[in-house]
Chain A
Amino acid sequence: MSQIENIPVKARSPFSEAFEMFRRNHAAVVGLVVLAIIVAVAIVGPMVYPGNPFDMVWAPFTPPGQEGYLLGTDYLGRDILSLLIHGAKVSLTVGISAALVTVTIGITVGALAGFYLGWVEEVLMRVTEFFQVLPTLLFSMVIVALFGASLPMITLAIGLVSWPAVARITRAEFMRIRELEYVIAARAGGVKNAKLIFSVILPNALPPIIVQAALMVGSAILFEAGLSFLGLTDPNVASWGQIIGSNREYILDASYAVTVPGVAIFVTVLAISLVGDGLNDALNPKLRQR
C-alpha cells in the first residue's frame, strides 16, 4: 500500500486532459479568443459606448469613418457602431438561451426514448419525426406571428423547432450506454430509474451533447438573425439581423449598413463552430478520424 502512495506520478484530472486536447487545436483557440472578445463587447460595450442606439445622431447615409462615426450611419441616421454593440447583447442572449431550451427539450425527449425503449421510444420518436417535417424557419415564423414577437417568445420558438437533432443524439447515446456493464451493475444493485437516467447514464452521454449544444448556439444566432431580418422581432430592441433587414432597401446608398452587421454574425458563428470543433477534439477523441 505504502509503495503505491510513493509513485511520483501526478494523476491528471479528465478536465486537464480535455483542456490539453482543446489547446492543440489552434483554430479552436483562436475561435475562443474571438468569442471572448465578442462577449466582452456585448457586456461592457453598452457602458463604454452609451446612448440609445435608435437615436438619430447625424445625417443619414454618412459613410464609415466620417464625422467621427467609425462605421457610419444608416438610413435613419443612426450610429451603426452603437446598433452593432447593443445588438451583440440581444443576438448572444437569444442564441444562448434558445440553445438551452433546445438542449433541455432534446435531452428530456432523447433520454426518455433511449432509456425506456418500447412504446415510449416509439411515441417520442414519431413526435420527433413530426417536428422534422415542419420547415423550422416557417414554423417559428408562425409561432412568433400568432403569439407575439417578444424576445422570450422568439427564444422559445427557436428552441421549439430545433430540438430534434439533440434528441436523436441523446437517444443514440442512451441506447448505447444503457447496455454497458456499469449500468447493468447499478441496475442490479437496485438503483432507481430516475437516478440511473440522471446520475449514471447522462453524465457519460454528455460529451457529444455538449458539442452539439455549442453548435446550437451558432444556429440559434443565425436563426434569430433570420427572423429579425424578416422583421419578426421586438421592434424596440436592436439586433444584428434587424439592422440588415431595415437597411436592405438602401443597399445602393449604404451597402456598409448591410455588410458590416453580416460580418459580425458571420465571425461570431464561425468562432462558435471552431470552438465546437475543438470541444469535439477534447471530449470525443475517438471520433476524431473524420
Chain B
Amino acid sequence: MALLMTILQRLAYAALLLIAVLVLNFSMMNLAPGDVADTIAASMGGADAEVMAQIRAEYGLDQPFLVQLANYIGRVLTFDLGYSYFYNQPVTKLIFERLPATLLLVITAQLLALIVGVLLGVFSARHPNGIANYFVTLLALFGYAAPVFWTGILLLIAFSLKIPLFPVGGMIDVTVEDNFFAKAVDIAHHMVLPVITLGSIFLALYSRLCRASMLEVLGSDYIRTAKAKGLTQREITLKHALKNALPPVVTLAGLQFSAVISGAVLVETVFSWPGLGQLALTSILARDTPTILGILFFSALVVVVGNLLTDMVLRAIDPRVRGRA
C-alpha cells in the first residue's frame, strides 16, 4: 500500500515536470520572433494584413496568453504536438517514426556501458596494480576530455575507411533481405560504432565510480568477517561486496539519461543514424519550431521515464531505499 502511494506520488510529480516542460516550450515559442502565421504566410509566398489576422484567428493566436497555453497543453494531452510545415506531417507522426532508432541506440549504449563499466570497476578494484586499473584511469581522462563527435569521427576513419569493417553510416542497408533475422544482424552491424562512441563517455564514468565504490566496500568490517568465515574471493566479491557497491553506480546511471540523449544528438549526426537527434538538427536548421519543441518534450519524457525506471531498479537492488519509502 505504502509502495503504491510512493509510485503514485512519483508519477504525479513526473506529470508536473512534463507540464512544466510544456509551459516552457510554449513560452519560448511566444518569446521567439515570428509565429505560426508568419510561417504559413512565408510558405504561401506572403500575405496581407487581413489574411494574417484571419490565420491568427483560425489558430487561436488572437486569444490571451493563458487561454492559448491551456489550449496547447490540452492538445498535447491528446497527442497532438502541432503540424510541421517543413515535413508536411503531424509532429507526433514524425517523432514516432524516429523515436525507436534513438531508443535503440541510447538504451544499448547505456546498458553496455553499465555492464562493462561494472565489470571493469570490480576487476580493477580487485587488482589495484593490474593493467585494468590503469585502463580505468586513462579511460576516465579520455572519456571526459574527448569531444564525443570527434571520437566518433576517429572511429569512422579507422574502422570504416582505413579498415572497412563497419558501414560508414545509416541504420540498415536497402539491399538487405526482407526477413527479421537478416535485418537484425544488419542493424547490429550498423550499430557497433555509434554504440561504442556513445557508450565510451559513460563507460568512463561508471567504471571509475564502481572502482571507488568497490574499494570502499572491500575495506569494511563485514568483508573481513566474510573472509574470516573462509568464503572464497569470488563469493565475497560477487555476493557480498558488489551488492553494496552497485547502488551508487545505478543512481549515477539514472542521472545520465539527459546526458545520453545530448550525446545521441551528436553521435546520430556523425553516423547519420536516423533518430530524433538528426530530426532535431534538421528541423532546427529549417526553423521548424513545432517539431523542435515536440522533440524537446519527448526527450524530457524519455528522461522522466528513465528516472522512474531507475527508481524501481534501485528499489529492487537496495533494501535501504525500500525502507525509506
Partners in one complex: yes
Cα-based distance from A141 to B29 in the complex (angstroms): 14
Q: What's the minimum C-beta distance from A133 to chain B, rounded to whole angstroms?
A: 5
Most buried by A among B31, B289, B296: B296
Interface pairs (13), CB distance under 8 Å: A134-B24, A135-B262, A135-B300, A142-B296, A229-B269, A230-B266, A241-B147, A258-B157, A259-B153, A262-B150, A269-B147, A273-B145, A290-B212
A110 CB–B CB distance under 8 Å: no
Binds A, one of B69-77, B82-90, B128-136, B277-285: B277-285
B-chain residues with CB within 8 Å of residue A194 when the two chains form the complex: none
Please count how many residues in chain B sit with their CB below 8 Å of the partner chain's CB atoms: 48
A-chain residues with CB within 8 Å of residue B150 when the two chains form the complex: 244, 258-259, 262, 265-266
Assuming the contacts A251-B153, A251-B157, A265-B147, asked whether A138 and B265 have C-beta atoms less than 8 A apart, the reply is: yes
Further pairs besides A226-B147, A259-B153, A266-B147: 8, Cβ < 8 Å: A130-B20, A138-B262, A139-B296, A146-B31, A231-B285, A241-B149, A251-B157, A269-B144
- The residue of chain B having its C-beta at the shortest distance from the C-beta of A146 within the complex is B32
A270 CB–B CB distance under 8 Å: yes
Are A134 and B265 in contact, with the CB atoms below 8 A?
no
A248 CB–B CB distance under 8 Å: yes
Q: Which residues of B does A touch, CB under 8 Å? A: 17, 20-21, 24, 28-29, 31-32, 141, 144-150, 153-154, 156-157, 161, 212, 255, 258-259, 261-263, 265-266, 269-270, 277, 280-281, 284-285, 287, 289, 292-293, 295-296, 299-300, 303-304, 307
B-chain residues with CB within 8 Å of residue A266 when the two chains form the complex: 145-147, 150
Assuming the contacts A251-B157, A273-B141, asked whether A145 and B20 have C-beta atoms less than 8 A apart, the reply is: no
- The residue of chain A having its C-beta at the shortest distance from the C-beta of B265 within the complex is A137
Cα-based distance from A228 to B253 in the complex (angstroms): 27
Give the residue of A134, A218, A255 whose beta carbon is less than 8 angstroms from that of B157: A255
Are B266 and A137 in contact, with the CB atoms below 8 A?
yes
A-chain residues with CB within 8 Å of residue B153 when the two chains form the complex: 244, 248, 251, 258-259, 262
A-chain residues with CB within 8 Å of residue B285 when the two chains form the complex: 231
Task: Name the interface residues of A257-286: CB closer than 8 Å to any CB of B.
Answer: 258-259, 262, 265-267, 269-270, 273
Are B262 and A269 in contact, with the CB atoms below 8 A?
no
Are B32 and A135 in contact, with the CB atoms below 8 A?
no
A-chain residues with CB within 8 Å of residue B262 when the two chains form the complex: 135-138, 226
Are B295 and A138 in contact, with the CB atoms below 8 A?
yes
A225 CB–B CB distance under 8 Å: yes
A232 CB–B CB distance under 8 Å: yes
A-chain residues with CB within 8 Å of residue B295 when the two chains form the complex: 138
Are A244 and B156 in contact, with the CB atoms below 8 A?
no
Number of A-B contacts (CB under 8 A): 133
A67 CB–B CB distance under 8 Å: no
Cα-based distance from A145 to B157 in the complex (angstroms): 30
Give the residue of B145, B149, B154 whose beta carbon is less than 8 angstroms from that of A229: B149
Counting contact residues on chain A (CB < 8 A from B), the size range is 35 or more
B-chain residues with CB within 8 Å of residue A147 when the two chains form the complex: 31-32
Are A134 and B266 in contact, with the CB atoms below 8 A?
no
Task: Name the interface residues of A206-259: CB closer than 8 Å to any CB of B.
Answer: 218, 222, 225-226, 229-232, 241, 244, 248, 251-252, 255, 258-259
Are A270 and B141 in contact, with the CB atoms below 8 A?
yes
Cα-based distance from A248 to B293 in the complex (angstroms): 27
Cα-based distance from A251 to B287 in the complex (angstroms): 28
Give the residue of B154, B281, B293, B304 whose beta carbon is less than 8 angstroms from that of A133: B304
- The residue of chain B having its C-beta at the shortest distance from the C-beta of A240 within the complex is B147
A-chain residues with CB within 8 Å of residue B21 when the two chains form the complex: 130, 133-134
Cα-based distance from A130 to B14 in the complex (angstroms): 10
- The residue of chain B having its C-beta at the shortest distance from the C-beta of A267 within the complex is B145
- The residue of chain B having its C-beta at the shortest distance from the C-beta of A251 within the complex is B157
B-chain residues with CB within 8 Å of residue A136 when the two chains form the complex: 258-259, 262
Cα-based distance from A141 to B284 in the complex (angstroms): 8
A132 CB–B CB distance under 8 Å: yes
Most buried by A among B145, B153, B277: B145
Cα-based distance from A9 to B226 in the complex (angstroms): 51
Give the residue of A134, A143, A251, A259 whose beta carbon is less than 8 angstroms from that of B300: A134
Are A218 and B284 in contact, with the CB atoms below 8 A?
no
Are A146 and B289 in contact, with the CB atoms below 8 A?
yes
The 8 A CB mask of A121-153 against B (1 = contact, 0 = none) is 000000001101111111101110111000000
Cα-based distance from A61 to B320 in the complex (angstroms): 61
Are B161 and A252 in contact, with the CB atoms below 8 A?
yes
A-chain residues with CB within 8 Å of residue B156 when the two chains form the complex: 251
Give the residue of A135, A143, A269 whose beta carbon is less than 8 angstroms from that of B303: A135
Most buried by B among A141, A231, A248: A141
